[in-house]
Amino acid sequence: MTAATHSTLFPQVPDSADAVLEGLDPEQREVATALHGPVCVLAGAGTGKTRAITHRIAYGVRAGILQPSTVLAVTFTNRAAGEMRGRLRQLGAQGVQARTFHSAALRQLQYFWPKAIGGGLPRLVDRKIQLVADAAAACRIRLDRGDLRDVTAEIEWAKVTQTVPADYALAAAKAGRQAPRDPAEIAQLYSVYEDLKRDRSVIDFEDVLLLTVAVLQDRRDIAEQVRAQYQHFVVDEYQDVSPLQQRLLELWLGDRDSLCVVGDASQTIYSFTGATPDHLLDFRTRHPGATVVKLVRDYRSTPQVVHLANGLLAQARGRAADHRLELVSQRPAGPEPDFTEYTDEPAEAEGAARRIRDLVASGVPASEIAILFRTNSQSETYEQALADVGVPYQLRGAERFFDRPEVRKAGVALRGAARFGSNDSLLDDAVDLPSQVRAVLSGEGWTPRPPAGSGAVRERWESLAALVNLAHDFAAAHPGATLGDLVAELDERANAQHAPTVQGVTLASLHSAKGLEWDVVFLVGVAEGMVPITYARTDEQIEEERRLLYVGVTRARERLHLSWSLSRSPGGRPNRRPSRFLDGLRPGSATTAGRGTTGASGGIERGFAPAGGTVVHPDAVPRRAQRTPARCRVCGRTLTDAGEMKLMRCDGCPSDMDEGLYERLREWREEQARRTGQPAFCVFTDRTLMAIAEAVPDDERELARIPGVGMRKLRRHGADVLAICAGRPCATEDTED
């Protein structure tokens, strides 16, 4: 569910430009009022980035600084663009264009094609996979369904990176891509695919961008016409732009700098499509005078969820990790995330379904619960498990709400009732708008009680029930509204793809869940081989998998459940282990990877002038080697307290200490102190024993890494401590130097 549809109430349009700014925090207000020059908004998950940029546009329009028709806001999905249009409408900023890159480019291409090329624009193919199959047949290459999908993805990547068939093999090797087939074979398929398109006079979605770029590059008069129309640009999810989209944006801009970009490098999860965060991270280099605003106040998730999310990124490596934002929750405390291990995948699905059934029975709306998984193939097991316990669900990524047949039919019925309702006996007893809608939709299959079970019948009922709920909210916000008013509202929502809430647990892949949020999230299958996925081998691929899990974690508002199974099927070998990304974060686990840098914060970067007076960048001056600062292995904060440094975590961060081991170590220490006649802390301090019980070292090397265990104590007590950690009896006699 999106933030826009979390409440289906209808807020009043602000009565002035200043009223648009009400309720924004200081950083969001800074974004909203920075209307001139380049602006870069680094916005963490749940920090209200859509709120900030829509209020920015609305404030500029309402204050008379921006003309609505000259503003183009671009994002990456129709849903996100629809949400943006819906919010702008609610803020009184109608007339602003909010579109995807492809939609905006297609509109321009359709308009300028007759002038630039002549004739009509070639037909746009919705799905290129059949063309790829035809190309394979022409090349006498056999491709199964999976191969077709993989080769199609490679062709898409090549096109968004502006790679021609002859250069594919070299470009793929340079980018470190693992081609699904021999690169020369893919290059051949790509070349024949392009020939088939030309022969059949069709274009694909990537061609829309490529052709628009070509027209704007070749026809200066058309480029100037576009730039005269659009003078102010806002780009959402800027970390996801491909080189081709960046080139199109540069052509739209020309030599101007009226640009606002919004993004978060830690949510870059689409690199397989050509997306790269480099344009976001290099924005200040390309625009030295840019205003940079960082949004880190998290209004979505509880401190417990945010703490886990920060802990995930604290272990990250790479350029995106160096620019991570450390979130600060603005919500009251909630329950700790829980971690559950199951014997097999069916048991994991059944366990999640039972928990969800209990949550729904306790009053949590099914629409506020989601099950998120790494691959779509995992969905079927959870669909069956939910059906078995009688919990409704909906699949994310399925048909858009207003495109569903039952919704279209309901719209026709409501429109007819609005025109001729006085002659409809169904409405004789309907005294208000909600009862009128219920009466009309009863003829389309809506009933006061949902049908039993799941499947298509239940899904149709859920769609109609969403329209009934929308009518209730609309009537409450607009007393005296008529059926005709509601139909007009539905038309506007359909144009904006601003769907009402559908009651049902959401099943979605981690990739398709981006931009959404729920009160309760079940992250399932969080095991090695799935998260990270088996084919993620390079450091860059592993880090993207970590970011994907981070996106999943930050979808949860209040409750977060993470689970994994030891085997795929009942009776299988229990050879799976929890994801490495959870090491040091889940109870009973030790950290296996070093921590990354601390989160980005505000500040000014300056060079300095040595004796000669020449300004030198600090990185260019040789420095004496410095010790790496100690950081909390849970949240990544720099540690300064000696006791915290010994534990390698903040006192306030959760401990994964083995309590039983700690007590055994304390008993052993007491015996050692008694035998040697010295205070117990001289053997090991409490902090050192806690650190040992948290790390559970396997050998002397691991034990020696623990602060407080020097070489002398390692020689004297190491064998005993390691034996206790391993659950073996230890020697009873003290070993002297």
Binding site, by residue number, is 43-50
* Angle, alpha carbons 102-105-111 (nearest 5°): 135
Among 415, 430, 401, 478, which residue's Cα sits nearest to residue 82?
Answer: 401
Residue 49 to residue 43: CA distance in whole angstroms: 6
Cis peptide before 165 (omega within 30 of 0): no
Nearest to 46 by CA among 726, 548, 516: 516
- Residue 44 has which token pair? 């963490």
**Kind and range of the H or E element at 388?**
helix 379-388
- Residues in a beta bridge with 84: none
Q: Return d(Cα 649, Cα 687) in angstroms, integer.
A: 11
* C-alpha distances out from residue 380 to 54, 371, 375, 737, Å: 38, 12, 11, 63
Q: At what angle do helices 205-218 and 145-160 cross, to 10 degrees?
A: 20
Closest residue by Cα to residue 662 from 683, 708, 693: 693
d(CA 483, CA 697): 70
The strand order across the sheet containing 518-523 reads: 338-344, 556-567, 518-523, 369-373, 505-509, 393-395
The crossing angle, in degrees rounded to 10, of helices 539-553 and 303-314 is 180
Amino acid identity for residue 573 in this structure: R
SS3 of 134-199: the string is: HHHHHCCCCCCHHHHHHHHHHHHHHHHCCCCHHHHHHHHHHCCCCCCCCHHHHHHHHHHHHHHHHH
Local structure of 588: helix, strand or coil: coil
Query: Which residues fall in the annotated binding site for ATP?
Result: 43-50
| Cβ atoms 74, 101 nearer than 8 A | yes
SS3 258: coil
* Angle subtended at Cα 358 by Cα 357 and Cα 362, rounded to the nearest 5 degrees: 120
Q: Nearest Cα to 267, choosing from 254, 276, 256?
A: 276
561: left (phi over 0), alpha (psi -120 to 50) or beta: beta
Asked whether the beta carbons of 337 and 369 are under 8 A apart, the reply is no
C-alpha span between 706 and 689 (Å, rounded): 10
| Contact assessment for residue 378 and residue 343, using Cβ atoms and an 8 Å cutoff | no
Strand-pairing partners, residue 328, are 297
**What distance in Å separates the CA atoms of residue 690 and residue 221, rounded to the nearest whole number?**
72
Biggest CA-to-CA distance, the chain: 103
Q: Count the helix, strand and coil residues of the chain and give each as a percent rounded to the nearest 5.
A: 50, 10, 40
The token duo for 646 is 């010994």
Please give the helix or strand (H or E) that residue 368 lies within, else none.
none
Give the span between the Cα atoms of 249 and 24, in whole angstroms: 29
Q: How far apart are CA 42 and CA 285, in angstroms?
A: 15
Q: Can you list the positions of beta strands (E) in 627-692?
A: none
Contacts (Cβ under 8 Å, ≥6 apart) of 145: none
Neighbours of 340 (CB within 10 A): 16
Amino acid at 309: A
Closest to 580 measured CA to CA, from 588, 570, 590:
590
